Amino acid sequence: EKAAALLHSVARNHALIDGNKRTAWLAMRVFLRFNGVSASTVPPHVSVAGPFVEDVAQDTIDVPVIAKRLEDWFPVS
């Protein structure tokens, strides 16, 4: 759930002029890597991840739903 909150916060709060969604996705991936997700875990294709992060940025899904999706995509080893 912490990774989901990180993704949500960075994507929603517009800390940068441009690239907030990309930065949010990368920060979440680094956080997951530091917390046990294997580096060999293949992330979802951009055609899936892109709309997901867009929904996160538009606040159409909340943190528990984000967390569930991340658990499905990135199992902890």
Residue pLDDT, tens place only, 5-28:
999 999 999 888 899 999 999 999
CA 47 to mean position of chain CA atoms? 14
Q: How confident is the model at residue 29 (pLDDT cuts 50, 70, 90)?
A: very high
What is the C-alpha separation between 30 and 74, in angstroms, rounded? Answer: 12
Smallest CA-to-CA distance from 77 within 20, 21, 33, 24 is with 33
Please state the pTM of the whole predicted model. 0.88
Beta carbons within 8 Å of 39's beta carbon, 6+ residues apart: 33
Query: What is the model's pLDDT at position 76?
Result: 76
Domains parsed from the chain with CATH numbers: 2-73 (1.20.120.1870)
Q: How confident is the model at residue 75 (pLDDT cuts 50, 70, 90)?
A: confident
Taking the CA atoms of the chain, what radius of gyration do you get in angstroms?
12
